[in-house]
Structure 1
């Protein structure tokens, strides 16, 4: 064999091996389809045929010539057999098991004949030219026919591509060369054909492999772009304001990537805030599997984002919306006011706040039930929105407080008119209504003032409190009210300092028996000692009750009352404000302050107003203390709305006749009222104490009507120690005091001339 043919065949084999290695590296990390493996194995088998044929030309004749020929035959058999799965992998043809079994059996039989008979290889001459047997052409060409039948079945109906045409052309040339080499007489001129026939086939296979590599690269690039598109849609999901906006963004991405302007997308809501998204080709174009997978992935991203957006919207609404009324809540109010003040500062306009409070809502809610209260609050919310007008910001500030924010607010007069209009639009749902169902406080921010949201709302709250105190229905937080607030703030601070410094002291006023003028009890009264002088109770007690300081003051009074009761061996009465009764742990505070036992020495005085609204909690607390043994006294009796009709329902042992009725005694009308009050008390089995006795005539009238216990400046002013009292009874019989003898029994220092 010419040396250049040997070199050519070895070179072809080396090139094939190198190309296979390059293709394997190119495919690494990609789809790794089976076609790559089978195609590479087929190419290596073909390279083996070419290499062994070239080596035979170098080594023959020699001792290894026969072995090289058989190795070439085995490589040839491997190339034919491996062609089956390779073709199937590239074309998706039918199964190869039967064909492969036939070919393996055929080549196995030929191999046996190769070594056992001269039918395949007859011998090798001295020049190294092999002498083939008569069955060698059949042994080599019959498998080619079988392979051809399979290839025909595999490629039938497939679209012819450029790479496929190259492979087909190379295969035809290879078969022609193979047949020529098989049927031609053996010689050094025909022997190279047994190795070089693989060259056109390998060339076609390399063209196909290159095309496949390019396709895989394109597919890989496309998948990378798909991943980038999905990531882009995922990022856009955080910036999109609505699911529809995200759907359009995703559709545009799909259209650009798939080069299909007919791509459409739908987003449909399901139950429980779930969504389903679908992308499709409106033209009905058949989508490739990777395209379908890409559209499904994008659809899942859009659906998840829509669900997240819905959940976020609900959470935002829950964070800034009152669940009961549907109005804005307090955080939303703070945010809106901050924005409104910033805008008003730029525009040099005013911002006003209307704080609307439902009067006595707590008592009405306790009496009528929570469902009634919820219905009322929703009705109030609707009416406030209607009264405030379109575009107004209305919020529930908490409890029964509502706030209306007015941007570009008019002057104070118009704001007050708006407040009264808002107030007038409200009406209770029940038939029992108070005289003033709603109180409105108004405050306004002016350009140049500090932008303080809390201060603005606090000003409206103070105006509302002032309106409640004055029964005005509506009030404006003006300079006068601001000065009053400053005074009240100063007084509160001084009161807190007085409580810490021990300047809140307890004085005791005597309760006197009208028959003996003996002090039979004491009333403990809180007094504020400031700079050595006493502050009038009416100047600070309302503030203490309004701010809640009365609770701690009351605890101190209970403790001082217990000490006085033990020191003077007398029962003591303690006044309790409505604010104290509202405390959830009022009974526990009394028990801790009063101490154990001696409950029969304690009388708790409450005003009619504290029980006017049938506060179940207050009544239950008083009933608990009464069960301990304490006595309950109804203070200022006769000044309430319905005390006579509901007296039997209250846990009361004593009524204290208001001083206004005592001062009216001595007249027919006044005496008639006193007799009626005493008749009511006796009908209910209650003890009576008359307050505000300041004249001897008043005491005489009360004695004549049978009042047993009186109290007033004439009989003793509040003092830090035991007040002066009349002669204590001895062991003998005490002379009764009659109206005629009363002036003679009065101590000199308690005479009417002493005044009040």
Structure 2
């Protein structure tokens, strides 16, 4: 457009205010001048160069065609405050096309448009002004400086309001998205780090700051110090440490002040924001570099209100997770979390060269609880946990696996039998007590072969059980053979239970004879477990399994019942003077119903109590003597007889022996086997002599040779049983044998 089309352009300099005070701008409003006439650019720049609005001056960007204007708008976007747009340039509607593309296609709402034309006939329709959100339309002859300034100021106000509204809207969108992201976070550390990052994002800052809270429900610390829960930027290395570790007096002072006054603190180059929900308090320290605007303060208020709920949720989740995965007493990882830790190592991807897993079982811990009380027991566990933590610090991962069992994961250099044993050299403090403790250790060397955490724990537990059974040492390393043995034992117990329920177990009977007359005076009931191949599993194998599993209680009751029933059958054949010896194990004595079971069975089967003889071993007496002595005295009063089996093979105390209501001593077969021609069987002789002095009958086991029977008779032994007289036999054969012996 040529100059001739607007003769009065000089009018834009009219009405200038010569007396205004000079101001210094603190920033700039971007003004895009779009016109194909260079002189219009110059005149506009000269007219408005000294204008300051809201402490900001004007910065001019120039375009000389619609296409060039669109390119600049595409690059600068909403940072352009006002576009002074000529309508007619390379075409009659170039300016309108710029407005249409900017609004409709680019979606830019904030920049204000002032249309200018030197040809009034090209004025846009009213609908166009509405559709393209055009602030003003002026002919160039109308724009004196004062009118141009008025239009610019009005348009800048409009731009600022729209920008604030849109910033608020975008800020609220960010708040919703940020809060939603944070609500998905369940880790206190990650949540707090996210708070710093999201606030920094909202304010357009580099993420740098800390979230702090007092110890207690959040970190399970005993003190009331302020700890860093989460951090971003240069502070990230201080997470979970005390605030003082940050070595920045300003941060320490203002965070503590914020928590004390329970209010936000806004300073020029930093802010401390207060977070509170249902008593969960935190202070968010942010490095700003500039003062927060009022609109951003309002956005922060909205954001923090939303985030406070999330902060409460994450703390509650943290407490639930702590309850689920941490031991309530020692605050160490519990069994579930320890398995998770083992899962990480057993995934086959993590290098586990020379990594050891160990279980530490405190010896006789139940005695401490029973003798000194549970409070002392808890103090002992805390003392052990503290020593483990102090000894290994961050080198070994710890856990409490059971009531008195601790787990360790770490390099073999630290986790080995010698190091573990050294832990227990010094006594442990437990309140007023100083206790020396022993322990057993089960250890597993990890390999790179993938395996589950529960499997690793099983292996270490197998090793621990072997260590507890070992009389020579208190530790064992896991070997595959141990698991094979354990698997075999479990399979045997399972099959024993199945066969017992199916009534496949049998009772065989071995006659006992008077050594003088060699007449049968009784029988010993012997349990047999037949196999599918026609053989039998040795009682030495399955009786310990039955005792270990507790099956012996039900099996023992069945043996007693069957023995009494068969004794009743023998009575109908005239053998009513025979007695029946039945073996009793320690688990049966521990059963509260044991005494009543014995009485009820004998009474129900109509058997004279004195015809039933309960056989016990020395080891049973020494295991829990008080239980055994009391039970036998009550049964003795009921009328049953009591014999001690395998006498002389154990280490029984004579004081306990004298307390037992015994009727008979059984000389073990190992001592009978010592009887050879021309050689004295000293122990067998001693047992018989002791029995005679105590007024007890004696019976020799395992008599297989005539000279053994003669020798025992010569010593004064009363009875015998063994292959010389009769082998163990099923009941039908026993009945036939007894009838045959009677008819001789």
Taking structure 2 as the reference length, the TM-score comes to 0.52
Residue correspondence of structure 1 range 36-435 to structure 2 within 5 A: 228=173, 231=176, 232-233=178-179, 235-239=181-185, 241-242=188-189, 244-245=192-193, 248=196, 252=200, 264-265=271-272, 274-275=280-281, 301-343=306-348, 345=349, 347=351, 349=353, 352-357=356-361, 370=374, 374=378, 377-378=381-382, 381=385, 390-406=394-410, 418-419=416-417, 421-423=419-421, 425-426=423-424
The structure that is strand-richer by fraction is 2
Q: 1:576 to 1:421 in 2, by over 3 A?
A: farther
Q: Cα deviations across residues 295-318 of structure 1 (Å, max 9, x unaligned)? A: 666555555444443333333233
For 1:621 and 1:262, the matched residues in 2 are separated by 84
**Counterpart for residue 46 of structure 2:** none
Post-superposition shift, 1:567? 1.9
Cα distance in structure 2, aligned partners of 1:369 and 1:702 = 53
Instruction: State the Cα deviation string for residues 29-88 of structure 1 (Å, max 9, x = none).
Output: xxxxxxxxxxxxxxxxxxxxxxxxxxxxxxxxxxxxxxxxxxxxxxxxxxxxxxxxxxxx
Contact 1:602 1:631 in 2 (8 A): yes
**Match among 518, 537, 540 for residue 538 of structure 1:** 540
- Report the alpha carbon displacement of residue 335 of structure 1 after superposing the two structures with TM: 1.1
Does structure 1 residue 645 correspond to structure 2 residue 655?
yes
Counterpart-to-counterpart distance in 2, 1:445 and 1:493: 30
Q: CA RMSD in A?
A: 5.7
CA contact (8 A) 2:616 2:645 kept: yes
Shift of 1:614: 3.0
Q: CA deviation at 1:657?
A: 5.0
CA spacing shift, 1:388–1:589, aligned 2, 3 Å: farther
Q: Distance in 2 between matches of 1:276 and 1:643?
A: 68
Asked if 2 retains the 8 angstrom alpha-carbon contact of 1:330 and 1:395, the reply is yes
Match for residue 566 of structure 1? 568
Q: What CA distance in whole angstroms lies between the structure 1 residues aligned with 2:584 and 2:421? A: 33
Instruction: Decide which of 608, 612, 624 is 2:618's aligned counterpart.
Output: 608
In structure 2, distance between residues paired with 1:249 and 1:616: 69
Q: Give me the whole-angstrom Cα distance separating, in 2, the residues matched to 1:280 and 1:479.
A: 57
* Equivalent position to 1:671, from 677, 680, 685: 685
Greater Cα radius of gyration, structure 1 or 2: 1
- Match of 1:451, SS state, is coil
Give distance in 1, aligned partners of 2:168 and 2:599: 79
Equivalent of 1:576, from 556, 581, 584?
Answer: 584
Quickly say closer, same or farther: Cα 1:223–1:385, change in 2 above 3 A. closer
User: CA 1:558–1:235 in 2, change beyond 3 Å: closer, same or farther?
Assistant: same
* Aligned position for 1:124: none
- Structure 2 distance, partners of 1:749, 1:469, is 53
Call closer, same or farther: CA 1:376–1:420 in 2, change over 3 Å: same
Q: 8 Å contact 2:443–2:460 — kept in the other structure?
A: yes
The question of whether the paired residues in 2 share the 8 Å contact of 1:510 and 1:716 is answered with yes
Distance change in 2, residues 1:316/1:335 (3 Å): same
Give 1:339 deviation, angstroms: 0.9
Hey, what's the Cα distance between the residues in 1 that align with 2:312 and 2:162?
36
Is the 8 Å Cα contact of residues 504 and 530 (structure 2) preserved in structure 1?
A: yes
**Contact conserved, 1:366 with 1:615, CA < 8 A, in 2?**
no
The match for 2:447 is: 446
Distance change (3 Å), C-alpha of 1:281 and 1:574: same
Q: Distance in 2 between matches of 1:538 and 1:649?
A: 29
Could you tell me which runs of 5 or more consecutive residues in structure 2 were left unpaired when the two chains were aligned: 1-154, 206-263, 429-435, 572-577
Q: Distance in 2 between matches of 1:331 and 1:645?
A: 48
Q: Which has the higher helix share?
A: 1
1-side partners of 2:705 and 2:159: how far apart?
Answer: 120
Please report how far the alpha carbon of residue 537 of structure 1 lies from its aligned counterpart in structure 2 after TM superposition. 2.5
Deviations 1:213-247 (A, max 9, x none): 99999998787677656643464254364375366
Distance 1:246 1:490, change over 3 A: closer
- Counterpart contact for 2:274–2:283, Cα < 8 Å: yes
Q: Do the aligned partners of 1:277 and 1:299 also contact (CA within 8 Å) in 2?
A: no
Q: Give SS of 1:719's match.
A: coil
- Cα distance 1:516–1:338, how it changes in 2: closer, same or farther (>3 A)? same
Classify the secondary structure of the residue corresponding to 2:327. coil
TM-score with structure 1 length normalisation? Answer: 0.52
